[in-house]
Structure formats: structure tokens, C-alpha cells
A and B are shown apart, each in its own frame.
Chain A
Amino acid sequence: APPPEKKRWLRAYLELQRLQAPPQRRSEKPNWDYHAEIQAFSHRVQENFALDLLKTAFVNPCYIESEEERRRQLGLDKDAVALQLQDNTGLAERGLRFARAYLAHCFEGAYPELPAKGIEALVNFLTSQELVSYVAQNLSIQDLALCRDFPAPPDVLQRTFLAVIGALLESSGPERTGIFVRDFFIPQLIGKDLFEIWEVVNPMGLLLEELTKRNISAPEPRITRQLGVSTVLPVYFVGLYCDKKILAEGPGETLLAAEEEAARVALRKLYGYTENRRPWDYSKPKQGLAAEKAISSN
């Protein structure tokens, strides 16, 4: 006889239990093989890792603490079941230093006019918590990372991803790690404007400094076009002229806002970060070996 099925009146309750169950880590659900997942991760990213380095890269200090806590609570002797895991703080630091140095080197090469503060702002944005944790989430690092809380907080994900970069640095060397950092971080800049990333309080002052460095006279702002002056929504186009030649033109609601916007447009043109600049060059690097050696000595 066929086995008795679950009672019809029980199904709704079981469904409710299933929906209200707290979210669990993927490693606690059925069908999970850590070693296979790590191998698949290295193939997915198309990089050869030393697997033991990669496994240490996923171990976070909060996980080690929680494991020791659990062993103490279960009453196990410390020497009997010693935890032989190293955490990923060293790898994470090395990865962070390398990523920052490499990205700064890339931006100095691509935008030579950009000042040091701008490059620092760009690099800080690219290594910020939200961006790195977003990239890590979409590479399934949140499943592989061992940490105390679930879902993993963004700073844990950032540390784990930087540790992965550090592990890659140890296994494959600075060139391949540089290509990896370029492929995963630089596309996050697509569609972003310079002054969304870099907060500039006084664009006019910065513009005056830049122009004095290049020995161009101070800009003279003039109203180029204006629409709807006496309405609620006026539009003023203010143009900045140096020696009677146009430098940049920017729109705004009030005259002051339009002048500030014109200063920002002029700065974008000077630094070469306009919307119609050449897209980033992702081709295989053949030269620059000396530069990589310089980075690895940092």
C-alpha cells in the first residue's frame, strides 16, 4: 500500500513553519562541499590559487573567537582539540596595500592631470566598504566566508575579499593580481562622475589654483544664456572666459549655482575626466614590468 501522506490539514502549518524559519547560512543547508566550492570559486574567477592560502583567506577572526567559545562551552580541553586556523588579517592588509598602490598607479597613468587628492578620493571610493562588499556578494564570497554572524556584515566581506586578493598576490605574483584588481574594481567607475566620488567644497578656488599652475589668467564669468528669469525655475548658463576665450559653460538655477557648475565643468575638462573621454584600456599589458616591481616593493 502507498505510504500515508502528510495530512491535508497539516500542510498549511508546515508551509508557515518553512516560511518563518530564520535564514540560515548556505553551508548549513543540505548539499554543501567546501573544498569543491573553493575549487569552483578559483575556476569561476579564472585564477590559480594556492588552495591552503585561499582557505586561510576566508577565515575571519570573529569565526576563530566563536569556535573557541563553543569549544569552551562544550567543556573540551584546549590542547586536545587545538584550533589550527590562521585568520586573514595579514592577507587582508597586504591585499589592501597592493590594491591601493595599484589603483593609484593606474589612475596616475590614465589621468596625469588629476591632483593627489582626487586620486586618493577615487581609490578610497573603490576600496570603500559598500563597493567591495557589493562585488564580494556577487562573487558568492558571502557563502564561502567563515564568520560569526549571518548574513555577513559588509566590513567582514570587505576584509575577506581583500584577503583573497592578498592570497592571489602570494600565489600568482603582482602582475596577475594587478589584472584581477583592474578587472573587478575599475568597471565600478563606469557611469560615475568625478565630483560624485570626490567631494569638492570650493570648485572655484580649486580652479583658480589649477589655472595659476598653468599660467592662465583668472576666469571671468559671464552670463551666456538665461531662460525664465522671472519665473520660479530660472535657468542660467554661465560661461567662464580666460583672455576672452571660453573655458567652460555650466547651467544652474541661480547665478551662483551656475557659476559653481561652470567651475566644475572646467575642472572636469582640465583633469580629462569628461564623459566623452576614451574608455579604459583593458588590453593585456606587455610592458610595465618595472612598474610592477616598484609596486611589489611597497
Chain B
Amino acid sequence: RYVRQLQRLQLLFSPTAADARGARQFVEESAQDFARQHPDVVLYVSPHSGPGPAPVLRAEYLNGTVREELIASKTSEEIVQLATKLANQSGLDIIRIRKPFHTDSPSVQGQWHPLTNKPSILTIQGPRLQPQ
């Protein structure tokens, strides 16, 4: 069955900074809807008062990776899109995919090895057959 890999989202922002305006709007308008639509993700909203670090959305996944995304000067809709993107990801590292194809069954009839299609010794040189 499908298990969402995102465990929790922590929204760290400041209630007075100017670049956290989108974060504050997100908390007022869309945070509850997002939490209702994704009941298996725990959403923590923690405003830290006073000037502090930039507003950040921290995502923790089931395999332990923690991903931080800056949400400074982003609108509320952009933050919603970002949150859904993080919710649909798995916690694997984002690296270059070496090849865009993968198959679990690389060979249907058996992989070729030098002895396929060679008749066995018993058909050539059995106990009663003459060697050809």
C-alpha cells in the first residue's frame, strides 16, 4: 500500500519580518486546508519572535533526510505548491539520474551465456552415439 514518505513539516517564521509575509498568509488561510488534505503529515507552526533567521519550511522524511526550503518573499500559493511538492517526494537524495530506464526483469527467456544454443555433450557424444 502507499505510505507517504513525508513525516512532518515545520514552518519556522517570524511574525514581524517583512519577507515572512507569505508565510503568515499561508498560516492564516491555507495551512488548515493543507493539514486536512494531508492527514498523515504533522504540520508544526512555530513563530519565533524578533529578528532571527530567514523563514524556512523544514521537511522530515521517513528515511531520516531533513530538507529545508527558504520561503522568504514567496506568496501563499507558492508556499502551498512547495508544500505539496515536498509531500509527494520521497526522502531520497536529489541527484542526477544516470539512466531514465530501469527494469526488474532484464531478460525474459534467460540471459545469454556462452553455452546457450550449444548442444550438450550427451547429444553429440553420448554413450551410444558415435562422435561426429
A contacts, CB < 8 Å to B = 2-3, 30-31, 33, 36-37, 39-41, 43-46, 138-140, 143, 183, 222-227, 237, 239
Q: Which B1-18 residues sit within 8 Å CB-CB of chain A? A: 1-4, 7-8, 10
**Ranked 5 nearest A-B pairs via Cβ:** A44-B40, A43-B40, A31-B44, A224-B120, A43-B39
Contact of A227 (CB < 8 Å), options: B40, B46, B115: B115
* Closest beta carbon of chain B to A224's beta carbon, Å: 4
Which residues of the other chain, B, contact A183 by a CB distance below 8 angstroms? 1
User: In the bound complex, what is the Cα–Cα distance between A183 and B2 (angstroms)?
Assistant: 10
Dominant secondary structure of chain B at its interface with chain A: loop
Q: Considering the chains assembled together, what is the distance between the CA atoms of A43 and B3 in angstroms? A: 9
Q: Is the CB of A40 within 8 A of B41?
A: yes
A-B contact count (CB 8 A): 54
Tell me whether chain A's interface is mostly helix, strand or loop, or mixed: mixed
What are 14 pairs between A and B in contact, CB < 8 Å? A31-B8, A33-B44, A37-B8, A40-B39, A40-B42, A43-B39, A44-B3, A44-B4, A44-B40, A45-B1, A138-B63, A139-B3, A226-B121, A237-B120
Give chain B's interface residues, CB within 8 Å of chain A: 1-4, 7-8, 10, 39-42, 44, 46, 50-51, 62-63, 114-115, 118, 120-122
Q: Which residues of chain B are within 8 angstroms of A31 by Cβ–Cβ distance?
A: 8, 10, 44, 46
Contacts of A138 in B (CB 8 A): 62-63
Q: Which of B2, B42, B51 is close to A36, meaning CB atoms less than 8 Å apart?
A: B42
Contact between B46 and A225, CB atoms less than 8 A apart: no
The residue among B2, B3, B50, B63 with the most chain A CB atoms within 10 A of its own CB is B3
Residues of A within 8 A of B2 (CB): 46
In Å, the complex CA distance between A237 and B120 comes to 9
| Contact, CB under 8 Å: B121 / A225 | yes
